[in-house]
Amino acid sequence: MPARNWDTEIDTPATVAVIGGGAVGIEAALYARYLGYSVCLFDSAKIGDTWLRWGETPMSTNWAESTSTLGLAALEAQGTLTSHPPENVLSHRQFVTDYLLPLARTDLLYEHTQVHTSVRSISRSGSNYDGHVPAEIRAEREFRLMVDSRQRSQYGLLADIILDCSGLESRRLGMACGGGLAAGEEEPSELISFGKQDIQDRHRSLYAGQHTALWGNNRAAAHNFLELIELLGDAAGTRVSWIIPTGKRSPAHADQPISIPEEQQLEQRIASVLERPPTGLAVVHAWGIEAVRAVEDKHLAIRVQTSVEETLDIDCDRLINCAPCLPDWGFATSTEADRTLATDELPTAPVITAEPHYYVLGQKSWGAGQHDLRTAREQIRQVFGMIGGRQELDVYATFGASASSSN
């Protein structure tokens, strides 16, 4: 944790800017509103957009673990609570429909939420970009956000506290060997998608009857693979090439294509498919992708490095890049010579950064991996304990005790 010589406490009704409208951002904004802070919640797409890409894929936690006592109380007070048994495991889409969206529409958050609104930059009012202003002085100055809204165009906004819940979506490791960039990887193309795709429903038309190359060996790649295999059996002309990164191991001695101990059933389903590969499926173990090129915007030409001197060319209609996500510090910095904030290092719990009153919550604070909403809620509790000067404060416990007494 960075050394701190500034006071974390800020009284209500200070303005809290929450970046990211996923589960962590919604919970953080709700917590802030309950304590009496003024809140602005921004999402560059729509509420729960990243979660919706997982479609009908089951969540890794049940209803009780995925929701908070504060969130459930807010929905009950609004009369919009959809009740589920605590042990029920919902799909990602149902979680957004039954929990995140109703919370965003409550009286506590509705007028404080802006979707299709990107935060383009964050700086300190009255501070030079060179960072020589001492932290204790910077702590007394407001943040300035430049916001790009679909409805209001660009405008500036002042805030006292930043809660960065933006996750890892906008920056990824490259697809070449060792996480480097493949030639042409950064060129924009409508034929390349990223991360988990809702192939069963929302994105089905993009992949049905097409040849899809899938890059990656993580959880997102595994679920994409299984949904593509289902599509392969349902839609004529569908083909799948799964390019599995193996580092410098020989393809003949490659490890299992995916290993997710907490999802053994997922591994078993994949192993069953690979034991008897269906027609239209090709699995390629590779060091990386050397080049990807769009041909007349109609299909892709991919060159795969399979060993020191050997490559394989694959022509396909679409590519899904499931390379691991990385923290994106674009909000805090522009270039090394033009740094606006001091948050250039990944923080550690309790998510405090070198920049006064700038906090990082959720996946961005712990790196790539499964969503852990319980950890995120503890981060929220810790942050507001520091901001309010009451480390013992736990709104979740308060509502939990209320629910127990009412029963």
Mean pLDDT calculated for residue range 45-69: 92
Cβ contacts of residue 333 below 8 Å, gap of 6+? 339, 340, 341, 343, 344
Q: Is 280 left (phi over 0), alpha (psi -120 to 50) or beta?
A: left
The domains spanning 15-169+326-406 and 177-321 adopt the same CATH topology:
yes
Query: Is pLDDT of 128 > 80?
Result: no
pLDDT of residue 332: 56
Query: 195 and 169 in contact (C-beta within 8 Å)?
Result: yes
Structure tokens at 216: 């990656």
Q: What is the signed CA dihedral for 56, 58, 61, 67, rounded to 10 degrees?
A: 20
Which of 121-125, 290-294, 332-336 is the least confident region? 332-336
pLDDT of residue 66: 94
What is the architecture of the domain spanning 15-169+326-406? 3-Layer(bba) Sandwich (3.50)
Structure tokens at 364: 């961005």
Which of 88-97, 125-134, 168-177, 359-368 is the least confident region? 125-134
Query: 212 and 241 in contact (C-beta within 8 Å)?
Result: yes
pLDDT of residue 252: 47
| Cα 71 to Cα 74: distance, rounded to the nearest angstrom | 5
Cβ contacts of residue 391 below 8 Å, gap of 6+? 382, 385
Chain centroid to CA 103: 19
Mean pLDDT calculated for residue range 356-361: 90
Strand order in the sheet with 113-114: 113-114, 38-42, 15-19, 161-164, 358-360
Query: Is pLDDT of 179 > 90?
Result: no
pLDDT digits 0-9 by tens, 23-34: 999 999 999 999
pLDDT of residue 335: 40
Cβ contacts of residue 194 below 8 Å, gap of 6+? 169, 172, 320, 321, 322
| Cα 7 to Cα 139: distance, rounded to the nearest angstrom | 8
pTM for the predicted model, two decimal places: 0.79
pLDDT digits 0-9 by tens, 318-354: 999 998 876 666 655 544 434 556 655 544 445 778 7
Query: Is pLDDT of 405 > 60?
Result: no
What single-letter amino acid sits at 265?
A: Q
Please state which CATH number belongs to domain 177-321: 3.50.50.60
Mean pLDDT calculated for residue range 396-401: 84
Strand order in the sheet with 281-286: 192-194, 318-321, 211-215, 239-245, 281-286
pLDDT of residue 328: 62
| Cα 46 to Cα 52: distance, rounded to the nearest angstrom | 10
Domain coordinates in residue numbering, the chain: 15-169+326-406, 177-321
- DSSP summary character for residue 367: -
Structure tokens at 332: 């805090």
> Mean pLDDT over all residues of the chain?
85
Query: Is pLDDT of 43 > 90?
Result: yes
Which of 53-67, 152-166, 303-317, 359-373 is the least confident region? 359-373
Between 351 and 139, where is the model more confident? 139
DSSP H or E segment with residue 155: strand 153-159
| Cβ atoms within 10 Å of 311's Cβ, excluding its own | 14
